[in-house]
Structure 1
Amino acid sequence: MKYITNNSLIINNSYLACKFFGTLGNIDKYIKTVNNLPILSYNEEISLAYDLQKTNNLNAAQKMILSHLRLVVSISKRYLGYSFLHSDLIQEGNIGLMKAVKRFNPDQGVRLASYAIHWIRAEIHEYILKNSRLVKIATTKSQRKLFFNLRNYKENLNSMNLKKIDLLAKTLDVKRKDIIEMETRLSGKDIEMDYLYNNYDKLPLIFYLSTEITEPIKIIESLQYNRFQLKKLKSALNKLDIRSRRIVEARWLVENNSVATLHELAKEFSVSAERIRQIETVAFKKMKNLLKE
């Protein structure tokens, strides 16, 4: 449920849905009904606009909206080629109409229909861009312009060679590379990464994606970090006394699983196993402090 608020003015979009879709049952009846709604004269429109502006009269806003619902239907028909339900496009266009009514200034000397066209289109455009792909296909101003114009221009061109691309770029006031990039985006489609596309695939596409671990930058970072850690560890070991260093190396820095036990080291240094454990604990604390420094 979407609202447009301005102080005490609240225009609820569900009102239109309940009033028409809920009672009429289908889009064709809705369109037929809104096309039969009365059109406001210029004086009526200005009077209602002043009433809304000064008193936040919800009834005035409602009359202005209802009289322009046919405009939303007309504009939304131009976007049926984007594979969206007409009812959804109308719903979004109605939101744009409500925003236009909220911001309409009767002192500007223009009709609400002329002013509302921009808001209706903007809302439909935003809906299409957000829902066309999983990843938003157009974000910049030039990309949005190309998204809604490239298809129409391509229908009038037999091929998209560089000469025609340059002509189109000049017409739309965009760069050649933007047209090529948008054409590439539009020609592609979303791919389900966990779906098997044919009987020859043993694994879905998601299993073929590389992980961060195999990325060259991550590998270099890991190697540099390991070298840094090794350098610091050697420095800390060199600051231990000979016995403490021997115990730490024999217990934790050996290969081939030939780790010395406490009893083996106790026999080597002629002390108890508990004494070896104490020396090891003190050595670790000292190394920890050295590594912090």
Structure 2
Amino acid sequence: MASHIASAEPMQQYLQEARKYDYLTPDQERDLAIRWRDRQDRAALDRLVGSHLRLVFKMARGYSGYGLPLSDLIAEGNVGVMQAAQKFDPDKGFRFATYASWWIRASIQEYVLHNWSLVKIGTTGAQKKLFFSLRRLKARMQDLENGDLTPEAVESIATELNVPQAEVVEMNRRLGMDRSLNATLAEEGDSEWQDLLADDRPDQEASLAEAEERQRRQQFLKLGLGVLDDRERQILVARRLREEPLTLEELSQRFHVSRERVRQLEVRAFEKVQRAVVASAKEQKIAAADKGRELARA
């Protein structure tokens, strides 16, 4: 529905499209979700998703400080809301917006991480959390000035996110923080940038969605490992997936090759897994986008 709108048309037209859909009452939302789940009623899906396009726009703007086109962020958010609609269970008793928010956020964050040149692929969960939480934590501490953080602020953020203080300093410098979080979104508005920052505190519904997303990522990893031969798989697991990775020396003795050969095999294995995972993820996104276009034509 909205994927092609967000990428090919101006933002104003996207918002005009979003405003065509009224906000739903809980009963209306549940009825639409049941009609889609039980009867694959495309009109119901169109209205359920369409009524949350404004949520996609709001969440996407919260990530526009990373230097990526807003239209692309919205397109990724649209993929997320479509994924949420496919998995939403109205019988669990919570609102679709609560459930969809996690999928929208996850889709946008994945896109940001894959396109942010200063954040390497393969960062830990704590580093990713730091990447997306630094602005919010600085706003809470009212430390919004450009430049380095105070030692006290660095220590506080590092402790809360369980990352080394050096990573906090480095990430702060990378992001630049060239926009005050108290700046308004528009001259005529009173909403501030910090109002749109994603809140990473989990609730019950988000935890459920996160578990489903974790399962999806595990499936991706299993698929990726499946393209490796036995030696490559053992090396990659030992070097990248263990809590305490084995050294090159230990693996060189196990496989009777040089340490440099082990390193080469590790790099090759990681690249093969990465290509397999990216290809699979891209196929899923294309499928979700195709569903959106089908809805637009329906």
**TM-score where L is the length of structure 1:** 0.52
Matched, 1:80 2:64: yes
Matched, 1:139 2:123: yes
- The superposition leaves residues 66-96 of structure 1 with CA deviations (integer Å, 9 ceiling, x where unpaired) of 1111110111111111111111111000000
Distance 1:21-1:162 versus aligned 2 partners, 3 A rule:
closer
Distance 1:62-1:180 versus aligned 2 partners, 3 A rule:
same
Point out where structure 2 has 5 or more consecutive residues left out of the alignment. Answer: 177-257, 259-298
Distance 1:137-1:183 versus aligned 2 partners, 3 A rule:
farther
The equivalent of 1:97 in structure 2 is 81
Alignment of 1:1-293 (within 5 A): 15-17=1-3, 25-133=9-117, 136=120, 139-154=123-138, 156-157=142-143, 159-183=148-172, 186=175
Q: Which runs of 4+ in 1 moved over 4 A?
A: 17-22, 183-187
- Give the Å deviation of 1:100: 0.8
- Give the Å deviation of 1:154: 4.4
Contact between 2:7 and 2:72, CA under 8 Å: does it hold in 1?
no
Query: How large is the RMSD of aligned CA atoms in angstroms?
Result: 2.8
Compare CA radii of gyration and give the structure with the larger one.
1
- The superposition leaves residues 93-128 of structure 1 with CA deviations (integer Å, 9 ceiling, x where unpaired) of 000001111111111111101111111011110101
- Give the Å deviation of 1:168: 1.4
Distance 1:45 1:153 in 2: 34
Distance 1:134-1:78 versus aligned 2 partners, 3 A rule:
closer
- The superposition leaves residues 156-182 of structure 1 with CA deviations (integer Å, 9 ceiling, x where unpaired) of 336424332111123334443442453
Distance 2:154 2:119 in 1: 25
Distance 1:134-1:21 versus aligned 2 partners, 3 A rule:
closer
Q: Which has the higher contact order (CA 8 A, sep 6+)?
A: 2
Distance 1:135-1:80 versus aligned 2 partners, 3 A rule:
closer
Distance 1:21 1:135 in 2: 24
Contact between 1:129 and 1:138, CA under 8 Å: does it hold in 2?
no
Contact between 1:52 and 1:58, CA under 8 Å: does it hold in 2?
yes
Distance 1:121 1:85 in 2: 16
Contact between 1:129 and 1:137, CA under 8 Å: does it hold in 2?
yes
Contact between 2:21 and 2:47, CA under 8 Å: does it hold in 1?
no
Contact between 2:88 and 2:99, CA under 8 Å: does it hold in 1?
yes
Point out where structure 1 has 5 or more consecutive residues left out of the alignment. Answer: 1-14, 188-220, 222-293
User: How many aligned positions are there?
Assistant: 173
Amino acid at match of 1:96: G
**TM-score where L is the length of structure 2:** 0.51
Distance 1:135 1:163 in 2: 25
Contact between 1:138 and 1:144, CA under 8 Å: does it hold in 2?
no
Distance 1:170-1:46 versus aligned 2 partners, 3 A rule:
same
- The superposition leaves residues 162-203 of structure 1 with CA deviations (integer Å, 9 ceiling, x where unpaired) of 33211112333444344245346556xxxxxxxxxxxxxxxx
Amino acid at match of 1:16: A
